[in-house]
Amino acid sequence: MEQLRAKKGFLCDMDGVIYHGEELIPGAREFVNWLYKNDKKFLFLTNASSRSPKELRQKLARMGLDVGEEHFYTSALATAKFLQKQAPGCSAYVVGEHGLYNALYDAGITINDVDPDYVVIGETNDYRYEHITTAMNLVNRGARLIATNCDMTTPVAGGAVPACRAFVAPIELTTGKQAYYLGKPNPLMMRTGLHILGLHSAEAVMIGDRMDTDMIAGIETGLDTALVLSGVSTRKTPEDFPYRPRLILNSVGDIPDKDLAYIIPPDMKG
């Protein structure tokens, strides 16, 4: 644990790590206060593409946490940055919410449902048959398929809802084209996060609640890794994967309190 506390930077998932819905996870406030008190560099990385950093800041403020916009980086921003570098001034047909649209606008990418360079799919509460057919036909005519993240579902109160990959799947199946996914665990998002913090991978830790996005992203980028059990994972979840985090914590509240116990994952066989 001391090795983790000594890191200069912290890349953290949000949902299941800092909050559930509209409520802070116990210990999250103490963790954020500890980051500030110890002059740690930190960035909240989220695969959710619907909200802007300003809106994420306001969400935490409603829960009593004051965190500047500069501490948030979303899959929408990662997608916009990728397209801006790949094809400056390109156009896209977009399925998503305002967080994704705003990121694309800010990157100089125009919206086009006739002959776009790209089809970009993110999360939305308004996903219709029309979106599938339009995206399918545009991809068949040459538009390249991009997705903000590869999450199949998103946890909500009382269960889960379909997420980005579920929206992309019909388009992939009907066109035979595979989307390029920009959010975690894509190393591009992780490297951008490290660049924002001004740190090398050995100086930072990835904290998250998902093995298939947060932990593999940290491992493949060379970061230290800590899985928290405050979200979708249980103590047995790592047994289903061929890789493991270095630490398993009850929550981020374990980090600032030296008296709280933590678990070192056992070696996995087979």
pLDDT in tens, 60-116: 999 999 999 999 999 999 999 999 999 999 999 999 999 999 999 999 999 999 999
Do 218 and 234 belong to one domain? yes
Do 93 and 164 belong to one domain? yes
**Domain span holding position 204:** 2-47+184-254
Residue 19 lies in a domain: yes
Do 224 and 244 belong to one domain? yes
Q: Which of 181, 207, 225 is a domain's end point? A: 181
Q: How confident is the model at residue 158 (pLDDT cuts 50, 70, 90)?
A: confident
User: End-to-end distance of the chain based on CA atoms, in angstroms?
Assistant: 27
Do 143 and 199 belong to one domain? no
Contacts of 213 (CB under 8 A, 6+ apart): 13, 47, 149, 150, 151, 183, 184, 185
Report residue 263 CA to chain centroid gap.
24
Residue 34 lies in a domain: yes
Residue 79 lies in a domain: no
Average of per-residue pLDDT across 24-41: 96
Do 17 and 38 belong to one domain? yes
Q: Which residues are catalytic?
A: 13, 15
Do 221 and 237 belong to one domain? yes
Residue 120 lies in a domain: yes
The answer to whether 120 touches 94, Cβ cutoff 8 Å, is: yes
Q: Strand, coil or helix: what is 85?
A: helix
Do 97 and 162 belong to one domain? yes
pTM of the complete model: 0.91
Average of per-residue pLDDT across 185-210: 96
The pLDDT score that the predictor gives to residue 155 is 78
Q: Which of 156, 181, 206 is a domain's end point? A: 181
Do 226 and 247 belong to one domain? yes
Amino acid at 60: L
CATH of the domain at 234: 3.40.50.1000
The pLDDT score that the predictor gives to residue 257 is 64
Number of domains in the chain: 2
Do 135 and 106 belong to one domain? yes
**Whose CA is closest to 206, among 238, 156, 252?**
252
